[in-house]
Amino acid sequence: MGKSVLVLNGSPRRKGNTAALVDAFAEGAERAGHAVARFDVALMDVAPCRGCLGGGADASSPCVQKDDMDAVYAAYRAADVVVLASPMYCWSFTAQMKAALDRLFALMEAGMRAAAAGGEAAAAAAAEAGGKECALLMPAEEDTERNFAPVVSYYETLCERMGWRDAGRVLVGGVYRTGDIAGNPALDEARALGASL
């Protein structure tokens, strides 16, 4: 039985190197029988987190802000796998991706509220927020382990805190300008990662 895969693409370039990685990954996943839902969060209306700590009060719409994240929340709940795809900006994810990741905190708040209430609601909320696989796709200009280290550290911490299991990573350096990734073996790696879920 195929898995439900949520791809969050943080690149503002519609046909950039990150998009090529996502396309290859999705091709591999779909050929393996998985369903892929893709959100190009940099092109969506996703406001940054306000830090209001008001999330989770409404289980159907966990954040107090109402924007395109509502569609992401619905897809996240249904997903078995979450894929984070972003070009490297200043040794991190893009601001647009970071905004979407910050807004996922509302789901954690929903889980905390349910845990305080106890019972079946707590178990359901915990299963909804965590227990997923996660993968990372990232192109960057520089191709060194040190260059990717801050992103890998953040990704590993995010997986730990969100209760995600790392399913794999495709980190590819030397791809700065749009189209630089054409013919790169990383596209085959992304395709294989999608197929391996």
3-state class of 20 per DSSP?
helix
* 8-45 residue pLDDT tens: 999 999 999 999 999 999 999 999 999 999 999 999 99
pLDDT at 121: 55
Quick one: how far is CA 89 from the chain centroid?
Answer: 16
What CATH number was assigned to the domain covering residues 4-195? 3.40.50.360
pLDDT at 127: 53
pLDDT at 149: 98
Judge whether 88 and 12 are in contact, CB under 8 Å: no
Exposed e or buried b per residue across 60-81, where buried means at least 16 C-beta atoms within 10 angstroms of its C-beta:
eebbebeebbeebbebbbebbb
Domain boundary assignment for the chain: 4-195
Residues of the chain with pLDDT under 70: 119-129
The C-alpha atoms of residue 170 and residue 191 are separated, in whole angstroms, by 10
pLDDT at 112: 73
The C-alpha atoms of residue 88 and residue 96 are separated, in whole angstroms, by 12
The model scores a pTM over 0.95: no
* Strand 81-85 versus strand 133-139 pairing type: parallel
